[in-house]
Structure 1
């Protein structure tokens, strides 16, 4: 079973990522029809998105259109979000304010 990161570990992990570059690289790969490498949203990404959005599990689940239990299972790595949910989670990581305002 995967160990959940501490808040400090999560912040250190987040500081090393360039989400914008990762998204642009993914778009370039898709356009080049070279999307061999698949990026899987981990429970860390789901938790990171929710933390950046400053939402409770209940609030975040409602915005994503899923139950709180489903969100919990994503955060714990038991289940993986659908493609649409994955895209929305990535947007929350990049600009949570924009997404929250757009969905309100």
Structure 2
């Protein structure tokens, strides 16, 4: 069973520059997690490490094998093509991830929103 959730977590971004989409979502504090980022140049990162699209699935499996209990958060720039995000999520899911979240910014009218 794959559990998917969205959170607003500006403090969780780890240096990869992305323009997050806005959404009504819950603020959650998580201490240990794997962050997968896709920037506006369609470059993929696992935490801070840039990974080619070809190598992503294999490299993610290697990283996740050592941290199977932690959630994974996808941090995709709002300009990234939907197809790329879907491919990355499919690769993440194929590694056995059951806790998958999406990072967003607070929606307009929400605390911290624009």
Settle same-fold status: TM greater than 0.5.
no
Name whichever structure is richer in strand by fraction.
Answer: 2
Query: Which structure would you say has the larger RCO, counting Cα contacts within 8 Å and 6 or more residues apart?
Result: 2
TM-score w.r.t. structure 2 length? Answer: 0.25
Larger % of helix: which? 1
